[in-house]
Structure 1
Amino acid sequence: MADILVKKLTADDFDAEKYVQSLSHSSVGGLELQQQRQRVLQLSKETSALLKKNVYNNYMQFIETAKEISQLESEMYQLSHLITDQKSILSMMLEVTISGDKGPGSGLSGVQEAVQEFEDPQEARLRQQRENRKKLSALLENIEGCSHVLEEPERWLVYEGDLVELSQDDYSGQQRVRACLLNDSFMLATWLADRRGPVRYRFETLHLLDALVPVNVKDRGQATNAFKLLIFPDARAFQAPSPKIKSEWLEHLERTKKDRVAAQQKQPTAEHRAPVANPDSENPFLKQQDSVGSRDSQDDDETNPFSWWSSSSAPPQSQVPQTPEWMQELPEDLDQAIAQRNFEDALTLIQRAREYFTQAPKTLVNAEMKRGVETRVKTLVSVVRAELAASGERSLNAGPKAARRAVNILLQLNKQQMACELFLKYRTAILKSALQRLRLEGDTEVYIRHLCAVYFRNLNDTLNEFNKVFASCKSCLPALVVWAGDSMNSFASKFCQHVFSTQSSLTTVSECVSLADHYCKQASKTGLDLRFALHASMSRDLERRVASARDQMLDAIKLRAQDESWQPTKFTDERQLQTFMEEMNDIGVAGLNEYLTDALVLGLTSSVLELVRVMVAFVEDVLRLLVVWPDAQQLLADSLTAVLEAQLHQCKAAVQHPMLKDKVSSCLCDAQR
């Protein structure tokens, strides 16, 4: 037994949770579980003792191995020093050499240095920009979600490094970021601590240099080597690893901003710059012709009546469309509307901004503004989700229209699936709260009546509200059908728990089932028929309850046969006989007058009369169930056949009994009837 346990615990695919679950399922009672626990503890003790024994026997080998590892470590250090010395010697030899190229990492060759010395400054700058562009592409491969940064062709990397973002309140460290200074913007990416592989950062934001001002921050406490970036309308503080890197960041930021301003100032003048002179301009005859031609063209322009239109209608090439004032104030207005729960105003602003972006040119400024608007859209969605979440008595006690406002906001933001999911979760919470408030008072039928009323009222309200709110979203109908099926299964589970798990009679069961089927038929008028789900969830319990009623009748027949005297039923007076006849007529058994053998004697025994009463009630209950459970017809026929066969068997046994020979006529009369 211990060997089998060891094999199980040392297997490659051993799973502790599955092993515990299998023990819990296979064990009978707490005693067997205690025995299993003792076996595992005993195995643990044996393993621990064996481990200690092995350590004691091999401790000398452990010591020798540790010595060898220490010696190997010292040899590796010596080898590292030797390699470093050899590298420095080789570097010195390459620097001393006259015609040889320098090694990798030691700078450029003498020929390349000479070429760079006489290289055109503009070409050198373009070459440097291309190299920085390649560096930017290589850097962005390690940052997730920043492919749009390379969409601008005239963008390259100036400086980059790791920083720690500080809190504005106490200048405590918040997160590690990767900062990249580009020639026209400043990019931030957050560190992914749980990520493995080359992509270790996620893109956060991209700020234009025009809206960014670097500010030095004095050292205070633990916040050393810090600087601040004023980014309207906010500010962010960062901490550099060392004072040198901090000064480099501030220097590069200032110089890049100046270069950016200078480039923007040179751009309009470059567009109006005169064309490059043609070599043919040195020809004096061509100059004379040009002067004559220019005078002629000037005269033609003066006499041309359409010259004023052609000159005035041509727009300047340097004209750039400016962002409207309302668009610049949009982020602040959106934040204010969301904070004040003015969702309709926020939605209007978002729709207006989206219309503007569809018509506006695709510039870097518009892309950044669009990204800011989409960020606030996510904020609005999260706030609306919180409004729609079914938490607290206020939302759970509200009517079906309470969630319409939030759902409409999500629908207009093109969040149909989210709106549908949240709406159905909201209705589920309301239904669950209403069912929990039901109290089990009175008999089972009264409780089931209240249960059906609460559930189907909530179901009808949900269906009607869904048809109003999601009338144009046909794709959400499958979610409604799935939700209705799940809610019906929950209702049926609660229904079966109170109807079939208690000692309720078959009459009570049939009444409760008929009541639930009636409510389900009324709910189908809204367009969703869930009777199939109700019937499927009750079929097994109904079959078990009908079989139980049949077995009770069979047991009752055996008990009555033991005490049966096989005498005709006699009445004391005419009034008692008349009352008996009326009772039998009420349950549907008529025509018993023909069995009267005397004025007050009925030619049927008491056991037969009692069997008739029970069978009539049984048939009525099962027929009531046939509406819900059509398969019960065969079960009803089989049950009645079994009951009648049992009664005939008792009559046959009485006829063959030697002590009941004088009562054979009564037994035969019961059997024939």
Structure 2
Amino acid sequence: MTDNQMKIFNNKDFRPEKYIQNLVQECVGGSELQQKKQQIQEYSEQTSSSLKKYVYANYMQFIETANEIQHLESEMNQLSHILLIEQRNLLSCLGDGNSQNLNKEVEEYDQESSSVDESSQQAIRSVKELVQGFNSKVLEGKTFLNDGALIELDSNDYRPIQRVFFFLFNDTLIVCKIRHDKKLEFISQYDPRKIAVINIKDLDGVKNAINTITTDGSKIFQCISTAAKNEWIEKFEIALKFNQQLNQKSKKGQTPPPASVQKQSNSLDNKSITSDITGSPTEENNSVTENWAPDWLAIAPEEIQSFIAQRHFEEALNLIQKSEEYIAYDSTFWNASEISGKIKNLKTSLSNVLIEELSNCQVRSLQAALRSSRRPLKLLAEMGKARQACGKLLKVCSNAIRMTQREARRNNAEISELFFCDLSQVVSEFLRAFSNQPACVSSLVVWCNTELRYFSNQLIKHYLTKGSQLENVAKCVEGVRKPCAKLTEIGLDLGYHVEGLLRSTLEQIIEDSRYRLLDTIGRSEDTWQPYNLQTKTNLKNLLREMEGFGIDLRNHVTGDTWINLTQCTVNFCRHFLSVNESCAFLAKNEALKMSVEILLRDLFLAQHAITPNSAMTVDLNFVTKNKNYLLQELLPTAIDKYEKISGRRNDFLCELRAQFGGGPPKPKPRSIYQTDVI
């Protein structure tokens, strides 16, 4: 698109409906509309890519600006804290005046009381006249604090829902709906002591908003101005403190002062309040002092709620621990039990949020799940919730490992090494997170047992099935043993447990293989003639292959392509050594040693017992030569290779060698021609 056409979209007065209408009138046919659509789409992609470039280019500036704003906020909080301390000191100095000043304050107190009573009565009359559907008799004797109009916003997209009007008394909040005829319709009634008011920072398009958490849930209201928002927050705090002071005074049989007098005299004082002063000359200078919690402790529950809502879990936990330490050190202030109960409930809420955060970790990638779980794990361990945390962590890891195993089987990948690698990562992360929680190690042991059982069941189901080749079974088992042995480096030895889980299946596979291999011996009739390889290349390849098994056939080569052994003998040597190698790998487990030795013994005896048919005319010296080859060359080679791989002695084959030690008589040597291949 041209630059002029692009400028149309950047115009502030751009209207999509009008643009589409003009575009349809200008274009002729669907093809031209398709071209326009493609041009608009290309322009959209260009705009998106350029926006990304600008964001990337100014990324560091965004970070620096955010850091500066954070520093400014912290400085403002410090200044606010200093102002509160100065104001508290000033009020305490004013409270130490002489009795004449106190008498003046009592007179002012009486004047304020009368004015507050008049304003409260006027507010009650207004509620009675303006609010429809509300019983105003419940307001008798209440102290009026504030009223005003607000706008209720949707908590998801901050869209205005309706206009409301608040009447706030000392222990009652009346919420009314402003109808179109400017009349008020009663909606609900709340107790300010059970309402949490949270200040919401100004966002794009949403300013001067507060979040009220009531028994009905959380609602967001927008005030007319910043001053009005601050006034509502202050009035709610006055209502809360008013009721707290009222309860304490009623216990001592005294009349509580109005809320406005409390606010003017000592609403921000966190040390003490002065009780009513009598006119007796003997008690003129006596005053009763009540201890209050510090300002930071009084607002700690609201701050903790704000931290949890903003996912600042570390700050919330630090404030909870600080509050608990202060209450444990000094719990003489009168509302200590109430604040302690709130802190305890918020601590429980924080632990529930962290456990939920841990449960929702990414399960498609074990590494991602472990990384995302470190933060809630650390906090839960500090809160004494290590047992619940380790249970949730191990459950998430189980789901991640099993999903990874399914994908590996689907892609024909190596599952054994992948499983034990994932297992080692989980164990390492677990020990790092709960290094100071030895009681959680038992949960790790039980979890490892469960995962090993599941892994062995899947291994038996997919790889160690009935009829599997012995070579494939040995490779699978060896692939399990090697990575399992590496776990001992981190202090976890699971080898014995894995062998026990696979033992019965492997014994059954070895027994089935024994019957199957014995059935193949003697199936093809041996002609008892020397083996002719036809070409020198075939002979060379056979010699190289047998050297790989550890057997040298060069002494038995005659002519250019002949081997002075039968073809069945040569094939059996190749097959027997392959089976011997697989059995040696399986025999590393002491429990399987006898089964594989029986298999090798029976297989060797079956081949050694083969004799030529009586109807055939054969050279008996040649038959003896083949049997001697099995005893004198094949059997020692198999015994040495078995012992080298398994590290154990094959007792049954050694007994065979001792049993046939003498062997049949050796045939007479002959002068023979050997090929130049050797």
| TM-score, length-scaled by structure 2 | 0.51
> Which residue is equivalent to 1:330?
300
| Structure 1 vs Structure 2 CA RMSD | 4.1
> Which residue is equivalent to 1:406?
376
Task: Find 2:476's aligned residue among 512, 533, 540.
Answer: 512
Q: Which amino acid aligns with 1:614?
A: H
1:625 aligns with 2:581: no
CA distance in 2, matches of 1:330, 1:471: 31
Task: Find 1:476's aligned residue among 440, 456, 463.
Answer: 440
> Which residue is equivalent to 1:660?
616
8 Å contact kept, 1:520–1:531? yes
> Which residue is equivalent to 1:637?
597
| TM-score, length-scaled by structure 1 | 0.51
Residues 672, 332 of structure 1: alpha-carbon distance in 2 compared, 3 angstrom cutoff: same
Residues 273, 614 of structure 1: alpha-carbon distance in 2 compared, 3 angstrom cutoff: farther
* Aligned pairs for 1:135-146 within 5 A: none
**Higher Rg of the two aligned structures:** 1
> Which residue is equivalent to 1:436?
406
Residues 317, 459 of structure 1: alpha-carbon distance in 2 compared, 3 angstrom cutoff: farther
Q: Which amino acid aligns with 2:586?
A: L
* Aligned pairs for 1:60-75 within 5 A: none
**Cα displacement (A) at 1:428:** 2.0
> Which residue is equivalent to 2:418?
454
> Which residue is equivalent to 2:105?
none
CA distance in 1, matches of 2:374, 2:417: 24
> Which residue is equivalent to 1:260?
250
> Which residue is equivalent to 2:526?
564
Secondary structure of residue in 2 paired with 1:659: coil
Task: Find 1:486's aligned residue among 443, 450, 463.
Answer: 450
> Which residue is equivalent to 1:120?
none
8 Å contact kept, 1:390–1:430? no
> Which residue is equivalent to 2:501?
537
CA distance in 2, matches of 1:350, 1:457: 39
CA distance in 1, matches of 2:389, 2:489: 25
**Cα displacement (A) at 1:339:** 0.6
CA displacement, residues 592-649 of structure 1 (integer Å, 9 cap, x when unaligned): 62x567786544322222211111000111112233x233322222112211222243
Residues 395, 415 of structure 1: alpha-carbon distance in 2 compared, 3 angstrom cutoff: farther
* Aligned pairs for 1:546-565 within 5 A: 546-560=510-524, 563-565=525-527
CA distance in 2, matches of 1:539, 1:586: 31
**Cα displacement (A) at 1:545:** 2.5
CA distance in 2, matches of 1:542, 1:666: 40
1:389 aligns with 2:350: no
1:369 aligns with 2:339: yes
**Cα displacement (A) at 1:571:** 4.8
Q: Which amino acid aligns with 2:615?
A: M
Secondary structure of residue in 2 paired with 1:521: helix
Residues 565, 230 of structure 1: alpha-carbon distance in 2 compared, 3 angstrom cutoff: same
**Cα displacement (A) at 1:525:** 1.2
1:524 aligns with 2:488: yes
CA distance in 2, matches of 1:261, 1:585: 102
CA distance in 2, matches of 1:383, 1:648: 74
Secondary structure of residue in 1 paired with 2:335: helix
**Cα displacement (A) at 1:380:** 0.9
**Cα displacement (A) at 1:574:** 5.8
Q: State the aligned residue count.
A: 391
8 Å contact kept, 1:229–1:236? no
CA displacement, residues 339-376 of structure 1 (integer Å, 9 cap, x when unaligned): 11010111111011101210223676211221111111
CA displacement, residues 143-162 of structure 1 (integer Å, 9 cap, x when unaligned): xxxxxxxxxxxxxxxxxxxx
Q: Which amino acid aligns with 1:613?
A: R
Residues 374, 538 of structure 1: alpha-carbon distance in 2 compared, 3 angstrom cutoff: same
**Cα displacement (A) at 1:575:** 5.7
1:580 aligns with 2:536: no
CA displacement, residues 123-172 of structure 1 (integer Å, 9 cap, x when unaligned): xxxxxxxxxxxxxxxxxxxxxxxxxxxxxxxxxxxxxxxxxxxxxxxx9x
Secondary structure of residue in 2 paired with 1:650: coil
* Aligned pairs for 1:159-238 within 5 A: 212=171, 229-233=191-195
CA distance in 2, matches of 1:623, 1:258: 85
Secondary structure of residue in 2 paired with 1:320: strand
Q: Which amino acid aligns with 1:263?
A: G
Q: For CA contacts below 8 A with separation 6 or more, give which structure has more relative contact order.
A: 2
8 Å contact kept, 1:577–1:600? yes
Q: Any gaps of 5 or more consecutive residues in structure 2?
A: 1-132, 134-168, 177-184, 197-213, 217-242, 257-273, 630-678
Secondary structure of residue in 1 paired with 2:528: coil
Secondary structure of residue in 2 paired with 1:437: helix
> Which residue is equivalent to 2:385?
415
| % identical aligned pairs | 21
1:356 aligns with 2:326: yes
CA distance in 2, matches of 1:316, 1:508: 96
Residues 579, 622 of structure 1: alpha-carbon distance in 2 compared, 3 angstrom cutoff: same
8 Å contact kept, 1:384–1:406? yes
Residues 263, 589 of structure 1: alpha-carbon distance in 2 compared, 3 angstrom cutoff: same
CA distance in 1, matches of 2:175, 2:559: 123
**Cα displacement (A) at 1:383:** 1.2
> Which residue is equivalent to 1:12?
none
> Which residue is equivalent to 1:347?
317
Q: Any gaps of 5 or more consecutive residues in structure 1?
A: 1-170, 172-209, 218-222, 238-252, 276-314
Q: Which of 466-475 and 362-371 deviates more?
A: 362-371
CA displacement, residues 452-476 of structure 1 (integer Å, 9 cap, x when unaligned): 3432332222222223222222221
